Structure 1
Amino acid sequence: MRESLLIHVGERPDQPIHWLVYNPAEDEIIASGLLADAAALSGLTEKARNRDCTLVVPCAQVQLQSVKLPAKWNRKLAQALPFMVEEQVTVDIETLFIAHGNAYSEAEDHFINIALVNRQWLQNWLEVFAEADIAVVNVYVDALLLPEPEPQRASAIAINDDSFLVRCDQWQGAQLEPGWAASYLTAAGIEVLDLYSPLPSGELAIETQSHEDKFELPLAMFAKATSPINLRQGIFAYKKKSSGWIKVWRPAMVAAAVTLVFTLGVKGAQWYHYTTQAESVKQQVVSSYESAFPGTKVRPHLIRNQIKKALGSQGQDGEAEFLMMLQDFADIVQQSNEFVTQTLRFDQRRKELRVGARAKDFQSFAQVKARLEQRGFNVDQGSLNNDGESVIGELRIRGE
């Protein structure tokens, strides 16, 4: 798992910024610190390299709601959602960004959890991080990263000397000051406050329960938590940047791809040419066999065995010798990609197979001649003529 960099900002750029580097594989805090304001964010640029950066925003800037739906959540309802919540907000709905959380049902009623945040405020923060060359992968709401409490209870943790965060249920949170915290908690129906750090001094007027074994820095708790919503969605969805080396090598990669396609095309054409040539030679062998042995059924894939049997039954007469030469010649031609047979003629009197052919060069003729001689044939090479891009000539093939 990749290490993560969490950065907890305030409502304004001139407020202090807390940061923490966390290794989830080892459950270890690598480093943490405090920046004076947003202008110092460039000091975290190197720490953000090769780490997943999460921006944690204050819940005071995010309005959390559960909206009752006329039907189960679907794409059409997502488009109609701004009109459904317009009367529940005191500002122009066009200035708000609506992030979608979990959709759920209770009995026959359907709901969707949403988070509303000022569109320009969120855009400004993302631009500040972009200027510092820090890629923000996630945007979480701080209060929703506290432990989810049981009914009539709330989780709380101090974030500075004069305020603390509370999470009242799965989808409700707030940043409170001691002077008016009691009123909020009473109105929310909270009977017990679970403390995950010492709180700023002040009378809460409700029961508290300290979990001292779980006391830790807010960002350390946030790093281990699972957020029920990521504000990095819709128009603010994270778009992964292409690696720098891809940009540098893209022209070469495109050129290589074009070359590969071209090469495959040429090889494919050559394969088709050679396959056609081999098929033509095979048809000549079959045709010659049928002429030599009328009335027999030819099986092309067994032609070698058929010729051997025919030779055994017919003896080494002229027709048999012709077939033997033709079969061996066909085998050798298939091994030579640059040798194309144009004419075949058997001289019955001289027991000689005469082959007219076209080849790429003089060496191709020499290679075919050498291979035939390795099979035990006597081969005379006629005159060879250079015809521009190829060589035309004749081979005379005789048995020993």
Structure 2
Amino acid sequence: MAETLYIRLGSKKQAVVHWLILSDNGEEIIASGELKSAEQLNDLSEKARQRQVNVLVPSCDVVLKRLTVPGKSQRAVKLAVPYMLEEDLAQDVEELFFAYADLPADEQGHNCYTAIVAHEQMQAWKSWLVDANINTKSMLPEVLAMPLLAEQWSAIALEQSDDTQVIVRQGAWQGFTLDAMTWQLQCHSLHVDDSEEESIHIAAYSPLAHTEKLTINAMPEELPLALLAKHYSQSTFNLLQGDYKVKSEHSMAFKHWMSVAAMAVCAVLLTFAYKGTQLWQLNSQVANTEQAIVDSYKKAFPKTKRVRVSTIKSQLNQKLAQLGGANDSEGFLAMLAKVQPAFTQVSQLKPNSLKFDGKRQELRIQALADSYQHFEQFKAALEKTGLSIKQGAQNNQGDKVSGSFSIVNKRSRQSNSNTRGGN
């Protein structure tokens, strides 16, 4: 641990500034002194350069309040506190800064601890230090640096050139700083109820004026700032929070580069998002098209159970080969093209079923008509197309006539005959 410089600022710029350098073990005073005013803080700039700086401020400028605030959300509690105290404060809440301590609830049920300072005062303290090029990350009301003792208060008198101030700590979050004259007046009211006989015990680290109701326990006298410095680290509270929290140069540089990196990452992410959206749209279109192909294939061939887009082309080729290709003059499709005009001419004849024998190149038709004459007309129409027709048996089915035809292309029959003859 390096040496630490402690600075006790005044309420006004013209007030005396006390300073002290404590050794790394916190026991030895390396140097100490006073400045006539905050305007001389430049005298401490060199001393502050290589040391940690802790700042103490007068508790007469800081109001410590303990409250019982309902709610579990810390954010909601902090928003409510200023308006809960509005009637007790001398200034508008907008003019005041509220700092909060992380302390457990006490026996009285207080769960919120706040230190209240005027923004104007906080800005003044910070500006004095900035002007002197003194950097600090910690600022503490002086009463919270006084010894915290069980069942008694602690107090010390801080002598200045034109005044003496008495610093009193009453509890974990209670205390005050008064000038010597006000302290003497206050002593008469600092006592317990008249019904009680016990007086208030005060551990005094310097001679103090008191009344009969105050029991003064004299402690070894110490340099006031030395006493405060030695107990400074016992408090975890820091006034420099919220808008007044100090940002280190390293942190600022890191945030700068982080912002640049964030912009670069954002640009890359936007590019990937755009490309990803395009890819997703294309994949969606492909998926929709493939599904449409599968649906169309199943509609054409409803008996098919499993269909894959990758095999549909080959399956279609197989189906076409079975039926006769589009350029096949003797296949099923070519024969249907020849049969179709006959159905147009004899519209009263309706096919019930069509079966095609690929090996024999034979089309078998089972049909219904209104009369036997329609079958004869249909046969005559087919013969005109050059097809060979064999008419099957015809039967009455109520008011309809059913019958069948076996149709063979004459060229196919001749080709089959030649093949058999050759053999």
Range of TM-score over shorter length: 0.5 to 0.7
CA distance in 2, matches of 1:73, 1:56: 31
What's 1:216 paired with?
A: 222
Shift of residue 207, structure 1, vs aligned partner: 1.3
Shift of residue 26, structure 1, vs aligned partner: 5.8
CA distance in 1, matches of 2:235, 2:136: 15
Q: Does the 8 A contact of 1:71 with 1:110 survive in 2?
A: no
CA distance in 2, matches of 1:32, 1:164: 20
2:147 is equivalent to residue 141 of structure 1: no
Q: Does the 8 A contact of 2:158 with 2:165 survive in 1?
A: yes
Q: Does the 8 A contact of 2:42 with 2:132 survive in 1?
A: yes
Counterpart residue identity of residue 55, structure 1: V
Q: Does the 8 A contact of 2:199 with 2:213 survive in 1?
A: no
Shift of residue 111, structure 1, vs aligned partner: 1.4
What's 2:168 paired with?
A: 166
1:193-212 correspondence runs (5 A): 193-199=202-208, 203=211, 205-212=213-220
Which structure is larger by alpha-carbon Rg, 1 or 2? 2
Q: Does the 8 A contact of 1:144 with 1:228 survive in 2?
A: no
CA distance in 2, matches of 1:205, 1:230: 34
Q: Does the 8 A contact of 1:181 with 1:204 survive in 2?
A: no
CA distance in 1, matches of 2:164, 2:26: 33
Change (3 A) 1:181 1:236: same
CA distance in 1, matches of 2:108, 2:164: 43
Q: Does the 8 A contact of 1:73 with 1:112 survive in 2?
A: no
Counterpart residue identity of residue 135, structure 2: A
Counterpart residue identity of residue 157, structure 1: I
CA distance in 2, matches of 1:193, 1:223: 20
What's 2:74 paired with?
A: 74
5+ residue gaps, structure 1: 255-400
Change (3 A) 1:196 1:162: same
1:168-187 correspondence runs (5 A): 168-176=170-178, 177=180, 178-186=183-191
Shift of residue 6, structure 1, vs aligned partner: 0.8
Counterpart residue identity of residue 168, structure 1: Q
Change (3 A) 1:204 1:242: farther
CA distance in 1, matches of 2:54, 2:217: 30
2:239 is equivalent to residue 231 of structure 1: yes
1:228-307 correspondence runs (5 A): 228-242=236-250
Aligned residue pairs: how many? 246
Counterpart residue identity of residue 169, structure 2: R
CA distance in 1, matches of 2:40, 2:70: 47
Counterpart residue identity of residue 187, structure 2: A
- Give % identity: 33
2:47 is equivalent to residue 50 of structure 1: no
- Aligned-residue CA RMSD (Å): 2.9
CA distance in 2, matches of 1:37, 1:174: 23
CA distance in 2, matches of 1:61, 1:180: 19
Q: Which runs of 4+ in 1 moved over 4 A?
A: 106-110, 187-190, 201-205
Counterpart residue identity of residue 52, structure 2: D
Shift of residue 184, structure 1, vs aligned partner: 4.3
1:2-38 CA-to-partner distances (Å, cap 9, x unmatched) read 2211111121110111000112336221110000001
5+ residue gaps, structure 2: 261-423
1:211-268 CA-to-partner distances (Å, cap 9, x unmatched) read 22xx211111121212252101111111112499x89xx99xx9xxxxxxxxxxxxxx
SS at the partner of 1:207? strand
Shift of residue 165, structure 1, vs aligned partner: 0.9
1:16-75 CA-to-partner distances (Å, cap 9, x unmatched) read 110001123362211100000011110000000121111210000000000111123522
CA distance in 2, matches of 1:235, 1:175: 26
Q: Does the 8 A contact of 1:182 with 1:204 survive in 2?
A: no
Q: Does the 8 A contact of 1:6 with 1:54 survive in 2?
A: yes
SS at the partner of 1:186? coil
What's 1:191 paired with?
A: 200
CA distance in 1, matches of 2:24, 2:73: 34
CA distance in 2, matches of 1:107, 1:207: 25
Q: Does the 8 A contact of 1:72 with 1:110 survive in 2?
A: no
TM-score by length of 1: 0.56
Counterpart residue identity of residue 129, structure 2: F
CA distance in 2, matches of 1:243, 1:192: 47
SS at the partner of 1:163? strand
CA distance in 1, matches of 2:239, 2:87: 22
